Amino acid sequence: MEGRMVEAYEMVKEMEEKGVVSNEITYNILINGYCRSGNAKKAFSLLDEMLSKSIKPTKVTYTSLIYVLSKNKRMKQADDLFKKILTKGVLPDLVMFNALIDGHCANGNMERAFSLLGEMDKTKVHPDEVTYNTLMQGRCRQGKVEEARQLLDEMKRRGIKPDHISYNTLISGYSKRGDLKDAFKVRDEMLSIGFNPTLLTYNALIQGLSKNQEGDLAEVLLKEMVSRGIKPDDSTYYSLIEGIGNVDAFVRKGDS
């Protein structure tokens, strides 16, 4: 978890020297660690080592490997691994599907991402808010915010409750496109069901307002977020500089 993979691997070797036999849990921990650090080569070498010891990989093993392939933009290999898993009789679960969908969305392969959603339905694996948030983010990256909005409605129809990430994704999508009216409408909807705005909410709205040269409204939002105890970050200030110029003078004025 700390990313100290060399020490972790040496500890496993020490275990084996002392007669403690490694199992699938040991290897899953190591493979996951290397995958989180982006080292696909080492992760797959551990898979080979696992197999050479007749230790059967689990869904956790394969999900970690799909994750690292996705992060390295190797989506064909991720899909090939997924197909191989199916031929071995391993039934993919929600976490595995979400990892693969996330990879395809991040790499702009939205058609494949939605085909995976269809496969989930066929195999009776129920999508969750993470699945839909990922698809919404993919659509927003394409600038297709209306389609992302339709996904939010689809979530509700399927009995999946949108979370603050769902609403922030839409707010950010509308704001980046300059559709501030729709962005604030989603913000109001978010508030009406009991979600408090977060730093991401304010940053998205302030960014949109600043790009539209609506500095006065950006100032109002800055005051509001500070009054709610939300601390502005670098992204907030970069947007404000674009929209209102001298942020330091504004902040001093607000403090006084």
* pLDDT score of 216: 84
DSSP conformation class of 108: T
In a domain? residue 211: yes
* Owning domain of residue 227: 197-256
Residue 139 lies in a domain: no
Angle value at C-alpha 66, between 168 and 61, nearest 5 degrees: 115
Local structure of residue 93 (DSSP, 8 states): -
Q: Does residue 141 belong to any structural domain of this protein? A: no
- Percentage of residues in the chain with pLDDT exceeding 70? 88
pLDDT at 3 over 90: no
* pTM for the structure as a whole: 0.85
Q: Quick check: is 16 in a domain? A: no
In whole angstroms, what separates CA 185 from the centre of its chain? 24
Position 130 in a domain: no
Rounded Cα gap, residues 165 and 171, in angstroms:
10
Instruction: Determine, yes or no, domain membership for 250.
Output: yes
Q: Residue 9's pLDDT is what?
A: 66
- The model's pLDDT over 36-61, given as tens digits with 9 standing for 90+, comes to 888 999 999 999 999 999 999 999 99
Residue 229, in any domain of the structure: yes
Q: For the chain, what is the domain count?
A: 1
Write out pLDDT tens, residues 173-215.
Answer: 999 988 999 999 999 999 999 999 999 999 999 999 988 888 8
Tell me the two tokens of residue 109.
Answer: 């392969």
Place of tokens 């709610």: 228
Whether 218 maps to a domain, the answer reads yes
**Both ends of the chain: CA-CA distance in Å?**
45
